[in-house]
Amino acid sequence: MLENVNEKCAVVGIFGHKEASKLAYFSLHSLQHRGQEAAGISSSNGTKLHTIKDRGLVMQIFDEAKLTTLSGNSAIGHTRYSTAGNDSILDAQPVFARYDLGEMAIVHNGNLTNAQEVRERLIKKGAIFQTFMDTENLIHLIAKSEKEKLLERIIDAVKKIEGAFSLVFLSRTKMFAMRDRHGFRPLSLGRIANGGYVVASETCAFDLIGAEFIRDVEPGELLIFEKDKAPISIKVYEPTPKKCIFEYVYFARPDSSVFGQSVYQMRKNMGAELSKIKPVEADMVIPVPDGGVPSAIGYAQASGIPYEMGIMRNHYIGRTFIEPTQEMRDLKVKMKLSPMIDTIKGKKVIVIDDSIVRGTTSRRIVRMLKDAGATEVHMRISSPPTTDPCFYGVDTPDKNKLIASNMSTEEICEFIEADSLAYLNSDALLRSVHAKDDEYCTACFTGEYII
C-alpha cells in the first residue's frame, strides 16, 4: 500500500534572484512549522540542477558552504512532515530526476488521492520507483509523456493526477507553480524587493525575505516563470474551490495571510464566536500554547474575562503529535507544557485549544491544571469535533483513533476530566472565516469528502 508521505508540508520557489538558494533557505525556515522531519533545496544555475536534502530541521541541514553549492538564480525548497515510519532520506524532497528533456526537480504539498492507481499502472509499464512518495508519480508521468515541451508535459501529467497539490517544478531554465482545481492547500505569489519572484505555502515566508505579496496562485492555475518576464498564467482547470479550513484552525502561522485573509484574525474570530455560543463563568481565559493563543485572545476580548498566561511552553521540543507510540506522546506533552502555579492556583479557568485529536493533550492539560490547584477547568475548543481523517494533506490518525469519532462530547469531557467541554460548531466556524458558498473543505469535521 502506498504510504501518504507528502502530508502537511511547505513548498517554496524563488526565481530570478542571484541568491535564490539563500532566499529559499530563509523561506523554509519561516515555514518550518509545516514540517520538521526533513527538508531540501534544489537550485539551477541555468545548465545544471543541484540538490541537497536531509532529515532534520532546515537550520540543521544547511550551512553557508552547502548553500554556496546550491548556485544559480532559481531554487525550490520543501519541508516535510509525515507520519511515523516513513523517515527514509529518499522520501525527502525535492524529488530530482534526469530524463530526455534534461533535469527537473519537484516539491509537493498535499496528497494525491489516485496515487496508488497511477503508480500500479506505471509499474505495469516498467517504471521503477525509489520511494513511497506520490510525488514520484509526477516524475514518471512527465518523463513518459509524449508531448514535446516540458510545459505541455506538466499539463499532461497533472491531468492524470487527482487530489490535493500545491506543486513547484524547477527545470534548468524555468520554474512552474501549480495549485489543484480545489485549491486545498495554499500557495501565494510574491515579488522580491531587489528582483525576482517567490511562491510559497504561506506569506510569512515573504515577510522574512523582504518580498511583497502579489496574490494567491488560483485553484487550477499554472504559473510559468521565465527569465526577464512576468509570470505567465495558464488556467489548467476551472476552479472549484475547497480550501482547507484546518489551515485557519491550526496549521498556518498566525502572521500569514492564507486564502486572502489574516490567520490571526480568523483565529481571534473563532475565539470570539466560541465565547458567544459556549459562555462559562470563570476567573481567567488561558490558551494552550501556541495553537490556542489567538482564539483565547478572541475569547477573552469578546467575553471580558481576563486573558492570562496559565501554561508555559518549552520551545526546545518539537510537536507532540508525531511520536509513534502513546507513551512517547504522553511524555512529550509533559515535557512541553508546564503550569504557571501562582497564576492558576485557586482559580476557575477556561482553557482554549484549537482542536482535540486523540485527546491526549487535553487530558494531560486538565490534570496538570488541577494538580496545580485550579478549582474548575473548562475546556473550550475553537473548532468542531475532529471526527474524520484528512486525505488531502493534513496528518490525522485513522478514524478509530479520533476521540470524537468514538465518543460524544459528554464522554470526551469525562475522559479528559474537565468540568465542562464545548466545541465551536460548523456554522460558527464558517462565520468566523467569512465563508461564502461551499468554498471550504470541512471533511475532518463532517466526513463529507469532495474526492
What residue ranges bind ligand AMP (CB under 6 A)? 250, 288, 291, 319, 321, 353-362, 394-396
Minimum distance of ligand AMP from residue 395's CB (angstroms): 5
- Smaller CB distance to ligand AMP: residue 127 or 311? 311
Query: Which CB atom, from 174 or from 380, has the smaller least distance to ligand AMP?
Result: 380
Task: Cell 554556496: give the residue.
Answer: 68
Handedness of CA 96, 97, 103, 104 (dihedral sign): negative
Looking at the Cβ atoms of 237 and 321, the one nearer to ligand AMP is 321
CB of 194 to ligand AMP, least distance (A): 36
Smallest distance, ligand AMP to C-beta of residue 4, A:
12
Q: Which of 9, 390, 441, 444 is catalytic?
A: 9
Residue 22 or 253 having the CB closest to ligand AMP: 253
- Closest CB 49 distance from ligand AMP, rounded Å: 32
- Nearer to ligand AMP among residue 73 and residue 383 (C-beta): 383
| Cα 49 to Cα 172: distance, rounded to the nearest angstrom | 6
- CB nearer to ligand AMP: give 354 or 388: 354
Supply the minimum distance, in Å, between the C-beta of residue 204 and ligand AMP: 18
Whether 204 is a known active-site residue: answer no
| Cα(87)–Cα(210) distance, integer angstroms | 33
Output the smallest distance, CB 385 to ligand AMP, in A.
11
Contact between 339 and 371 under an 8 Å Cβ cutoff? The reply is yes
Closest CB 389 distance from ligand AMP, rounded Å: 10
Which residue number, 13 or 186, has a Cβ lying nearer to ligand AMP? Answer: 186
Give catalytic residues, as residue numbers.
9
